[in-house]
Amino acid sequence: MALRGPQENLGVANGQILESLCEGSAANGVEPHTVESTDSDPAKAESTSPPADAPASVAGPTPVSQPKSWASLFHDSKPSSSSPVASVETKYSPPATSPLVSEKQAEVKEGLVPVSEDPVAIKIAELLENVTLIHKPVSLQPRGLINKGNWCYINATLQALVACPPMYHLMKFIPLYSKVQRPCTSTPMIDSFVRLMNEFTNMPVPPKPRQALGDKIVRDIRPGAAFEPTYIYRLLTVIKSSLSEKGRQEDAEEYLGFILNGLHEEMLNLKKLLSPNNEKLTVSNGPKSHLENEEEQEEPGEGSEDEWEQVGPRNKTSVTRQADFVQTPITGIFGGHIRSVVYQQSSKESATLQPFFTLQLDIQSDKIRTVQDALESLVARESVQGYTTKTKQEVEISRRVTLEKLPPVLVLHLKRFVYEKTGGCQKLIKNIEYPVDLEISKELLSPGVKNKNFKCHRTYRLFAVVYHHGSSATGGHYTTDVFQIGLNGWLRIDDQTVKVINQYQVVKPTADRTAYLLYYRRVDLL
């Protein structure tokens, strides 16, 4: 959903552990990657000189309108020696110049390149093909994020993702390459998030504090130095996105979709290197943020999809369609499926399986006061008006959505911004109650999976909340609350400000801020 206005906005998160070659810790407050530019404008590419030990390019002069090196957007500084980063030896080196070698052959490729021209891509592809997602929580020293522009919607989202163990460990599993090791890249988003996770260092989990009966436990934590993730902000211009359109209001849920779909697509392109003849990998198949129109969902023959007949309860048959959706580590963390069934008199049920990264919850009805109410409303059977057949005859149909597959990390989007015919885009300021422990009842699941999910597989625990502040849909501010395992409690992060709060403050309604995105982890994976 697009919001419009001049002010700043939005944020998100999730977690797991990969004990890899890049584990380690640095001294508190040490910034592994110092951002050399303080300019927060993502549209300005950094101009860096080639390293002294790099061979000079024999290519022709670069046009003035182009940045000298897009790679400098992601490798504008070297990590400090104390950083817990992965070091990787690469055998790739540019060919030496020779009178017998043409200029084109001798040119050192730099910047953004197709995956087929990225010599390091195959190594990352092989790593991701064999990765095991680890959900064990990790205690990280918190760090605020400096906001010199309208980046609160990005900062809030980044803090939620850093707090997500599987996401953190996945990115730590991928090596952090220097510009010398990797002068060109086909994975700018992966590179940036690997670098982001390396900005955070491990912090030992303290023993539980002892207290005399009746004494109040005072908890505190010392954050590391705040930093400005300019390389993350620049992704909006490096990767074509509607989010970078001038005058467009920033939205944390849209930005989360931009990140997850972008990482998924880059990993999909890496898979093509390992399976070049797999036609399914040519399908762009990232989940949509919002459900498509019913007419679009139910038209067969569009795109690449599988179709089969399924026998359900009481021997009822239905035709089920599922668009090709290739799994990546990102879908392994955040990816779920909903089942949308269309009922039409004198016809077989028609079902479509649709992937999602965030579960969209409509909260507009006065009857919806809790997350549970919103989930029940999501799966309620509804009539679809104005549905016509190919012969233009209007038919009476109904539709029901159920949950087919639950992800390890469930992100709930409370749809607070709605369009009204008279007033344009408006914000729903109503309070929606949400629990720390959320059980997805069997009634919300598809018939075929109801009895296959044990209670522990459908019970979740809250670990991050992204809030929208203000009453306007065209402005406001974003902050995030995250659960910190080292503290065994909650932190409130407002850009570069980090402070300790209690659990009651996380779920307590307030007039100035409303929960917008809820991040849950499955309890059997904690």
Catalytic residue numbers? 152, 477
Q: Which two tokens stand for residue 365?
A: 């009805």
Nearest to 478, CA basis, from 227, 253, 270: 253
Which whole-number Å values give the CA distances from 518 to 2, 418, 493, 522, in the listed order? Answer: 19, 19, 15, 13
Q: How far is CA 214 from the centre of its chain?
A: 42
Whole-number Å distance between alpha carbons of 501 and 507: 11
Q: How far is CA 365 from the centre of its chain?
A: 28
Which whole-number Å values give the CA distances from 195 to 9, 27, 190, in the listed order? Answer: 24, 17, 9
Q: Which two tokens stand for residue 157?
A: 């989202």
Q: Does residue 19 contact residue 134 with C-beta atoms inside 8 Å?
A: yes
Q: If DSSP codes are grouped into helix, strand and coil, which group holds residue 37?
A: coil
Whole-number Å distance between alpha carbons of 348 and 256: 37
Q: Does residue 334 contact residue 391 with C-beta atoms inside 8 Å?
A: no
225 Cβ contact list (under 8 Å, min separation 6): 29, 30, 31, 143
List the strands of the sheet with 336-344, edge to edge. 305-311, 317-323, 349-356, 336-344, 397-405, 382-384
Q: How far is CA 163 from the centre of its chain?
A: 12
193 CB neighbour count, 10 Å cutoff: 26
